[in-house]
Amino acid sequence: MTLHLVSNKPSVIGVLDLQGGVHEHLEHLERLGVAYKKVKQPSDFADLAGLIIPGGESSCLFRLLNIFEIKEVLLQAHRRGMKIWGTCAGAILLAREVVGESSCLNLIDIVIERNGFGSQLDSFVSEALIPAISAKPIPLTFIRAPKIISVGKEINVLLKIDDYIAAAESENILVTVFHPELTGCLALHRHFALKCGLNPAADSHDYIDPLWKSSSWTRQSRIA
């Protein structure tokens, strides 16, 4: 399947709409003031500057990429310059190696372990300072999270906690094992928008919305 490119500079961030936390990411992108859309079929990739692969269930997402016949189109879009951010399950899909399993997209030189902390009951919240992202501590939400256990020489480690890596990036790929979309913080979404060459709202730097609620994304499920 061939991806038809457009001549104008891509200016939209898409969220892969197959399974997982789609609307939560859309809500954060809307607050940043950048153009966004859901991505579910090959034609949706034409104008993308970036793509977010949300958290969900990695093996399910793996199958759906093939069922909807968009895996190769995604890879083509990445080769022409589209940046990609994988959160939790999305990070697993992007990894070069998944411990004990087959890799999927193989787009960033990391080794990752599914369910690195244990079961759903071992989910937790925390916060950490990520200097490359924000001057203020960022809230972290880990839900049946994987662990990045090693990275290649060209990979920039953004956050290491104890014996595992929680966030890392290459020139074109960002991975986080936690869920920034489940907090009121826009710092990581802003970082990704800048990585994509876009101009997010100037006042979004270090921004944590005190009025944000965990149900804020539900409006997106009605209008997006």
Look at residue 31 and tell me if it is in a domain: yes
Mean residue pLDDT of the chain comes to 87
pTM, 2 dp: 0.88
Look at residue 182 and tell me if it is in a domain: yes
Look at residue 110 and tell me if it is in a domain: yes
Name the H helices within the chain.
22-32, 58-67, 71-79, 89-94, 187-195, 218-223
CATH of the domain at 107: 3.40.50.880
Domains: count for the chain: 1
* pLDDT at residue number 4: 47
* pLDDT at residue number 216: 57
Look at residue 7 and tell me if it is in a domain: no
Angle between helices 187-195 and 22-32 (to 10 degrees): 80
Look at residue 4 and tell me if it is in a domain: no
- Going by pLDDT thresholds of 50, 70 and 90, the confidence category of residue 5 is very low
pLDDT tens profile 146-188: 999 999 999 999 999 998 999 999 999 999 999 999 998 999 9
Look at residue 5 and tell me if it is in a domain: no
Mean per-residue pLDDT for 16-37?
93
Range of the domain at 197: 12-223
Look at residue 190 and tell me if it is in a domain: yes
Tell me the Cα Rg of the chain.
16
Task: Give strand pairing partners of 85.
Answer: 52, 174
Look at residue 1 and tell me if it is in a domain: no
The residues annotated with a catalytic role in the active site are 88, 179, 181
